Chain A
Amino acid sequence: KQEVTQIPAALSVPEGENLVLNCSFTDSAIYNLQWFRQDPGKGLTSLLLIQSSQREQTSGRLNASLDKSSGRSTLYIAASQPGDSATYLCAVRPGTYKYIFGTGTRLKVLA
């Protein structure tokens, strides 16, 4: 049974700091892995999608890596800003349709 764990559960950093969010999953047989952002009261915004054959994806200040063999992904945020404050969710797709989510990391970037 696939389980997804995110560490840390919460993180508070000063503005400008580079930071890493971690995601681990128990079964390496995944179709893809996706990082989402959720703002309070809002839906999920897709940040980066990494297919199982890829090692990393980049978008602006965000970089996500995937190591299937070790069951790990990291989301790197460069030069953090107060607007980055949100909950970050990692989700894996073991097959072609449903996502299995982690519990998320609540990030607060202090001005």
Chain B
Amino acid sequence: EAGVTQFPSHSVIEKGQTVTLRCDPISGHDNLYWYRRVMGKEIKFLLHFVKESKQDESGMPNNRFLAERTGGTYSTLKVQPAELEDSGVYFCASSRANDDEQFFGPGTRLTVL
């Protein structure tokens, strides 16, 4: 069974540009989560999808971040326009049920210059 995959593994962009991160969950996992770790801080929850619906987006930092999960399969997280403080590692996780163990992807390292 393939694990959670994320693309790209690294992204370097200039301030003001747009970046889209993608996450492919484990097949059959209805629950998909985004987390991020900014420099020197702990990993923090961003949002939670159940299938294509957003269950909780309380961790989204501001309206420059837009997450989608059309069709309830893969998810994208778009940052537009990117700011310096958005630099960090963005993790995606998935689980079959919302109280099941979450399996994490390798993360996307985003650097905003």
Contacts and interface: CB of A to CB of B under 8 A. Distances in A.
A46 B35 contact: no
Interface stretch (A54-62, A77-85, A93-101): A93-101
Nearest to A89: B43
B106 interface: yes
Given A43-B104, A46-B101, A99 B45 contact: yes
A44 B105 CA distance: 7
Interface size, A (range): 20 to 34
A42 interface: yes
B75 interface: no
Given A43-B4, A43-B91, A43-B107, A99 B42 contact: no
Closest 4 CB pairs of A and B: A43-B106, A44-B104, A101-B43, A98-B45
Interface of B: 3-4, 31, 33, 35, 41-45, 48, 55-56, 59, 91, 98-99, 101-107, 109
Interface of A: 4, 31, 34, 36, 41-44, 46, 49, 89, 91, 96-104
Given A96-B98, A98-B33, A101-B43, 17 more contacts: A4-B42, A31-B99, A41-B106, A43-B4, A43-B105, A43-B107, A46-B103, A96-B99, A97-B31, A97-B56, A98-B56, A99-B43, A99-B45, A101-B35, A103-B41, A103-B42, A104-B42
